[in-house]
Amino acid sequence: MQKIEENQSIQTLIKEKGTPFGYELLLDLYDCKPGVCDDLAICYKFLDEIVGYLGMEKQAPPSIFFTDATRFPDKAGLSGWAPLVESSIVIHTLSLKNFISIDIYCCKEFDVERAKEFVKKFFLPQRMDAQFILRGLDYYK
């Protein structure tokens, strides 16, 4: 697994390390728009629309579930995923802190900046941390 640093281009890293099996973008969204962490319709729409927006292909419609806030008050929110032909997109929300984590994993390249812009428009976070990782660097060797 090779993490890409802020000032390093994906293409430069691929030239240095070789062709990866997959590309993974991890996003942590802080202080999102109030209410989005509990909004099943918005989170489902996000999973449904980001797939086509990034040029990926669904294997099946997204699935999304509420976490039992009574049994797990510190984990109240939603968890969902969109299964892709190329892998998956996963979302977890935590209502208590208006926090969302998103994992976009695909075995073909995708536009990271375009993905981040899409996420920002949907959830309006005050801050977003991003990590981009090349996966399976020895897969094609």
1-24 pLDDT, tens per residue? 445 555 456 677 677 777 889 999
* pTM for this model (two decimals): 0.88
Number of domains the chain is built from:
1
Domain extent, residue 70, equals 2-135
140 located within any domain: no
Residue 141 lies in a domain: no
Determine the Cα–Cα distance for residues 69 and 51; give it in Å rounded to an integer: 29
* Cα 121 from chain centre: 14
68 found inside a domain: yes
CATH for 110 = 3.60.90.10
Q: Which residues pair with 82 in a beta bridge?
A: 89
Strands (E) in the chain, as ranges, are 2-4, 22-30, 63-66, 78-83, 87-94, 99-106, 127-135
pLDDT band at 25 (very low <50, low <70, confident <90, very high): very high
**Tens digits of per-residue pLDDT, 82-138?**
999 989 999 999 999 999 999 999 999 899 999 999 999 999 999 999 999 999 988
The reply to whether 98 falls in a domain is yes
Position 130 in a domain: yes
